[in-house]
């Protein structure tokens, strides 16, 4: 085993924690982790602690990076660029810009009223919830670097194509008129100091952990259930590689569910160990995070139904296409 594998196993997969929890379950609870109950308890405790540790450390590091890309700066960066380049940059900035879903509509209005192309704005809006840096780290820790990179590349492709299509359909008239009439102004964002960035990162950790912990517990609970109680054969029949509709099913299960990306990771982990294809699992995760009812309702306040419908159709098709593509791709890769 080389040093990288060892680091990945100990730091990201937290093998040490796995062993500690195994000791706890077997010695203190007197349950073998090979039994269903013992296995579920082990999965639940281990996964909960692991996700909270990784989450806090990673949000801290990532927020530090993100503090260099506030939306005000993004707006300026995007301002001078036209065409597909704008979509690509919009998608990448969507990954880097920190914002909670309660900021997405102010950002939308801010970008559109500043005269940014609608397509680039939508590329930003699609990639931002879909690709999450912290989720990427968790994916890498669980499934390896290749899957992590694929997740980002796939997300950016969907965001770029979605934005280009919306631009091509010339849908500016379907933005609510009060948005176009809004008078935005530029504010100078002060350059943050090292201390400011540390403070910002700490606040982000607190803010996100406070917001997502219930989703994580629910997600880990469902993951533990899938892991130990639902027979592999049933899951394989519905979501396995043999079922040609698996990606469709996963996407449409994911869309109505509203959860944070972190809540979906334990479910994804459990599904993968049950033999579900990576593409299917990623379609499920993207469905959950990109298309939640609350965010669609918010978007519906600033764009007319036709543009909202176009957005939903493009994103759904994108997620499905990517699921099938990834499944085909991983068949070659692994």
Which backbone phi and psi does 32 adopt, to 5 degrees?
A: -75, 140
Q: Interface with another protein includes 52 (CB under 8 A)?
A: no
Q: Which is nearer to another protein, 113 or 246 (CB)?
A: 113
Cα–Cα distances in angstroms (integers) from residue 28 to residues 20, 31, 38, 47, in the given order: 11, 8, 11, 18
Stretch that binds another protein, among 46-54, 174-182, 247-255, 304-312 (CB under 8 A): 174-182
Residue 75 beta carbon to another protein: minimum distance, rounded to whole angstroms = 7
| Sole binder of another protein in the list 99, 169, 174, 215 (CB under 8 A) | 99
Q: Which of 16, 186, 230, 237 binds another protein (CB under 8 A)?
A: 186
Among 30, 80, 177, 185, binds another protein (CB under 8 A): 185
For residues 143-162, which are near another protein according to CB under 8 A? none
Q: Does 200 bind another protein (CB under 8 A)?
A: yes
Q: Assess 178 for contact with another protein (CB under 8 A).
A: yes
105 binds another protein (CB under 8 A): yes
Query: Counting contacts by CB under 8 A, is residue 68 touching another protein?
Result: no
**Among 58, 92, 107, 130, which residue sits at the site for another protein (rule: CB under 8 A)?**
107
Out of 3, 5, 27, 183, point to the residue binding another protein (CB under 8 A).
183
Shortest distance, position 282 Cβ to another protein, whole Å: 28
Q: Which is nearer to another protein, 197 or 241 (CB)?
A: 197
Nearest partner of 282 among 173, 139, 117, 179, judged by Cα: 139
Decide if residue 106 touches another protein (CB under 8 A).
Answer: yes
Task: Assess 109 for contact with another protein (CB under 8 A).
Answer: yes
Alpha-carbon distances, residue 71 vs 65, 68, 108, 127, 187 (angstroms): 13, 10, 10, 14, 11
Q: Which positions touch another protein (CB under 8 A)?
A: 70-72, 75, 98-100, 102-103, 105-107, 109-110, 113, 178-179, 182-187, 189, 199-200, 203, 207, 210-211, 302
């Amino acid at each position: 085993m080389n040093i990288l594998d060892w680091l990945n196993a100990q730091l990201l997969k937290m093998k040490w924690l796995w062993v500690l929890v195994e000791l706890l379950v077997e010695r203190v609870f007197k349950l073998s982790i090979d039994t269903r109950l013992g296995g579920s308890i082990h999965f639940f405790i281990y996964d909960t602690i692991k996700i909270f540790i990784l989450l806090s450390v990673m949000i801290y590091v990532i927020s530090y990076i993100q503090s260099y890309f506030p939306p005000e700066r993004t707006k300026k960066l995007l301002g001078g660029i036209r065409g597909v380049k704008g979509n690509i940059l919009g998608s990448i900035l969507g990954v880097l810009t920190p914002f909670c879903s309660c900021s997405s509509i102010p950002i939308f209005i801010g970008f559109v009223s500043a005269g940014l192309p609608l397509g680039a704005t939508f590329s930003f809006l699609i990639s931002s919830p879909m690709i999450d840096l912290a989720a990427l780290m968790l994916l890498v820790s669980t499934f390896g670097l290749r899957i992590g990179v694929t997740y980002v590349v796939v997300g950016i492709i969907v965001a770029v194509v979605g934005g280009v299509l919306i631009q091509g359909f010339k849908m500016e008239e379907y933005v609510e008129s009060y948005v176009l009439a809004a008078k935005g102004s530029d504010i100078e964002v002060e350059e943050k100091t090292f201390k400011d960035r540390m403070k910002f990162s700490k606040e982000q950790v607190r803010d996100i952990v406070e917001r997502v912990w219930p989703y994580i517990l629910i997600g880990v609970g469902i993951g533990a259930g899938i892991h130990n109680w639902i027979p592999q054969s049933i899951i394989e029949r519905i979501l396995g590689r043999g079922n040609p509709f698996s990606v469709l099913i996963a996407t449409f299960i994911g869309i109505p569910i509203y959860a944070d990306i972190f809540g979906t990771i334990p479910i994804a982990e459990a599904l993968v160990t049950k033999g579900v294809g990576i593409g299917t699992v990623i379609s499920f995760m993207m469905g959950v995070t990109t298309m939640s009812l609350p965010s669609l309702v918010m978007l519906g306040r600033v764009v007319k139904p036709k543009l909202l419908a176009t957005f939903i159709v493009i994103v759904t098709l994108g997620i499905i296409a990517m699921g099938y593509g990834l499944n085909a791709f991983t068949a070659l890769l692994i």
